[in-house]
Structure 1
Amino acid sequence: MRPLDAPIDPVTALTRIAWLLERGRQSTYRVEAFRRAAAAAAAVGPDELAERAAAKTLGSLRGIGATTATVITEAVAGRIPAYLSDLQDSAPASIADGGDRLYAALRGDLHSHTDWSDGGAPIDEMVDAAVAFGHSWLAITDHSPRLTVANGLSAERLDRQIREIADVDAQHEGGIRVLAGIEVDILDDGSLDQSDEMLARLDIVTASVHSKLAMDAAPMTRRMVAAARDPRVNVLGHCTGRRVSSGSGAREQSTFDAREVFSACADSATAVEINSRPERVDPPDDLIAIALEVGCLFAIDSDAHAPGQLGFTALGAERAERLGIPDDRIVTTWPVDALLDWVRGD
């Protein structure tokens, strides 16, 4: 994330701190303290903030505590707040041990979530963070309706989101491109959890299995091959569904014929996602080797559910570089026009 070295407004300072804490996987409670303070500061406005900073009454505002009041006071005075400066100074350029060259070559992300489903921030904040991470494009891919636990989008809600994405994209004309997408559930028979009409309106379709992950290998293979060959699908997301976290968060990977699934991806120019979330590391290295051998394209994605998590792609870049995947087979290194040509099959 590009460090800030010039005076900034208090809301930007508080928000940037939240992003850096998210990137470093700090506690949700700590992150939310800065998010609440940013919302409170935005609601009050710059004039009242300046008055309260001078009178030392910021702490009487709901959502602002002693630490966040100090950040606001320093920003109002035209200084980079010490809390932000310390975070920036201690933050490594990458959260991975290696892969720096490929990480610098990444141009975008085909898997990110917002508060429209189970993400923690609105679209515009995710886009602002993508700019801070140096992206030239970002796909917004919230969940589809069957995943009710993640507040998946009905056709009606997806229609509204597509319109909002277009508005945000228009506000960044000449800068970052914002693409309308979805992480659509792959249903038991390999069909997709959204209408043909809505899928046709999207720039990007990332398809993932979220249910019956312990399905027997043969039906799981048929299920995933059907999705990989679906002409509407661009990316096969976190294909094994595994979680490598210890304790109750751990989950075994699904079983399927990887060579058959990845051959279907290669035949259909469907990219295999290298999901960069630290608790996923999906697919594992041995499956990436098979996908590489059969000629697949790849997408290094963050699966970000908060703005700072967009930096998770450094972890995927380290794996891809270590495993010898050529840059030109990683669609997230492509400029947006080349990406959209691939989506259209040009």
Structure 2
Amino acid sequence: MKSMEPQRKTDSGKPVFSRFRDLGREQVNVELQVHTNWTDGEATVLEVLQTAKERGLAELAFTEHVREDTSWFPEFKAEILSAVDCVGAMRVYVGCETKAMDDNGRLDVSQSVLDACDIVLGVVHRLPDGEGGYLDFKRLSFEETAEIEFRLSTGMIANAPIDVLGHPGGMSLRRYGRFPENYFRTLMTATLERGIAIEINSSYLIDMPGFLALCDDINPFVSIGSDAHKLSDLGRCRDRLLELGVGLT
């Protein structure tokens, strides 16, 4: 279990997350979910780093989509490490985004990729059917989708080797524009108890002010990510938070 009172920097080079009410300008000035042309992003690693530097970001995490049979991750990490000299003092992390495969927290990722990461985002992208396949979203109601997504998320929080619960409620939000508040509350409380972060994701959240109000109430550790797939996305979540008055101190 991770420490409940982390500092801003660790010897291992991993990002360390602040609790919501402790967010200031420094803690908000980060971009901790970025995708490149290694998977479904548009830009190269170097283009991302150069743009992030231009926008004054203090920290950036490359969190590429991976699966259990991903074989290219060493080359991806090497490209990042070879390019970081261009960014000055900006902290750069190598990470991945991996999906839940069952209610017990099994992830679609290899141990070798986990070992290579500074940050691991656990997400719900598909809804497993328990028989090696996936459920069809079109055949599920909002209530069914949200309940399955909640179970998968709870399993990751309890058992998976993740640092961040990425885009919580994201499948329900994308398809129905909502996710039950009591589910958000329970997930935030569970991440806090385990000492991992829950993501504030500007790409998925329909009602960011409402989500931030829950964060202010529960005060979980938070990760800030735009789910950036193109250069214009970089820093979008930071900017939205500042617009809403978060991190102005």
Q: Same fold (TM over 0.5)?
A: yes
Q: Which has the higher contact order (CA 8 A, sep 6+)?
A: 2
Q: 2:131 is matched with which residue? A: none
Deviations 1:169-219 (A, max 9, x none): 2x3375323210011112232321101231122001112111137545554
The 1:132/1:161 distance shift into structure 2, 3 A limit, reads: same
- Asked whether 1:163 is paired with 2:78, we answer yes
Q: What is the deviation of 1:118?
A: 0.6
The 1:145/1:253 distance shift into structure 2, 3 A limit, reads: farther
- Asked whether 1:257 is paired with 2:186, we answer no
Q: 1:198 aligns with which of 109, 113, 120?
A: 113
Q: Aligned partners of 1:211, 1:181: CA distance in 2, in Å?
A: 20
Q: What is the deviation of 1:254?
A: 4.5
Q: What is the deviation of 1:139?
A: 0.5
Q: 1:272 aligns with which of 168, 191, 198?
A: 198
* 1:232 alignment partner, SS class: coil
- Asked whether 1:236 is paired with 2:165, we answer yes
* 1:258 alignment partner, SS class: helix
Q: Which has the higher strand share?
A: 2
Contact 1:145 1:193 in 2 (8 A): yes
- Asked whether 1:186 is paired with 2:100, we answer yes
Q: What is the deviation of 1:119?
A: 0.5
Q: What is the deviation of 1:103?
A: 6.1
Q: 1:176 aligns with which of 66, 76, 90?
A: 90
| Cα-Cα RMSD | 3.0
Q: 1:31 is matched with which residue? A: none
TM-score (norm. length: structure 2): 0.72
> Where do 5+ consecutive residues of structure 1 fail to align?
1-100, 147-153, 328-346
Q: Which has the larger radius of gyration?
A: 1
- Asked whether 1:208 is paired with 2:123, we answer yes
The one-letter amino acid paired with 1:289 is A
Matched residues, number: 210
Q: Which has the higher helix share?
A: 1
The 1:303/1:103 distance shift into structure 2, 3 A limit, reads: farther
The 1:318/1:281 distance shift into structure 2, 3 A limit, reads: farther
Q: Aligned partners of 1:326, 1:275: CA distance in 2, in Å?
A: 19
Contact 1:168 1:178 in 2 (8 A): no
Q: 2:130 is matched with which residue? A: none
Contact 2:26 2:58 in 1 (8 A): no
Q: Aligned partners of 2:96, 2:212: CA distance in 1, in Å?
A: 23
Q: What is the deviation of 1:282?
A: 5.1
Query: Equivalent residues in 2 for 1:95-174 (5 A)?
Result: 106-145=28-67, 154-169=69-84, 171-172=85-86, 174=88
Query: Equivalent residues in 2 for 1:311-326 (5 A)?
Result: 311-313=235-237, 314-319=239-244, 321=246
The one-letter amino acid paired with 2:111 is D
The one-letter amino acid paired with 1:145 is R
